[in-house]
């Protein structure tokens, strides 16, 4: 089954404690991205990647890191989480070229930083 898998689904952590949210897709997609969703602000892009070892900042990259060492994985790293990073996070993937480049989303990770 084609899917994007995020883990964990829920996470409560303390300020300053490094954490990683994993994202994996099994569709051989080139494009992967991370979004955060906050009430009234829609989906804001944090980072995106167009292929292995190619990453770029989205609209709200401060406080986040990513890596793309393998095509299927795109982890999101918070080196020193702060309360303003409490949010709902989504990973998404898609093809870059072709007639249809629909984005497939993971189930989401609800992060609370206290």
Give me the residues that bind another protein (CB under 8 A), please.
31, 33, 35, 40-45, 48, 50, 56, 58-59, 90, 92, 94, 96, 100-108
Q: Between residues 15 and 101, which has the closer beta carbon with respect to another protein?
A: 101
Cβ 94 to another protein shortest distance, Å: 7
Q: Between residues 56 and 79, which has the closer beta carbon with respect to another protein?
A: 56
Cβ 18 to another protein shortest distance, Å: 25
- Residue 95 CB contacts under 8 Å (≥ 6 apart), including other chains: 27, 29, 30, 31, 101
Cβ 109 to another protein shortest distance, Å: 11
Q: Between residues 44 and 65, which has the closer beta carbon with respect to another protein?
A: 44
Cβ 24 to another protein shortest distance, Å: 15
Question: 66 pairs with which residues across the strands?
Answer: 76
- Residue 94 CB contacts under 8 Å (≥ 6 apart), including other chains: 29, 31, 101, 102, 103, 104
Token duo for residue 13:
């952590």
């Amino acid at each position: 089954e084609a899917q994007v898998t995020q883990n964990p689904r829920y996470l409560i952590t303390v300020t300053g404690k490094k954490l990683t949210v994993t994202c994996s897709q099994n569709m051989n997609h080139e494009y992967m991205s991370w979004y955060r969703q906050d009430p009234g602000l829609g989906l804001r892009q944090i980072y995106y990647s167009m292929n292995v070892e190619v990453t770029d900042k989205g609209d709200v990259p401060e406080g986040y890191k990513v890596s793309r060492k393998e095509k299927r994985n795109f982890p999101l790293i918070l080196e020193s989480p702060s309360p303003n990073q409490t949010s709902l996070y989504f990973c998404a993937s898609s093809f870059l070229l072709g007639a249809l480049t629909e984005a497939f989303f993971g189930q989401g990770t609800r992060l609370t930083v206290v």
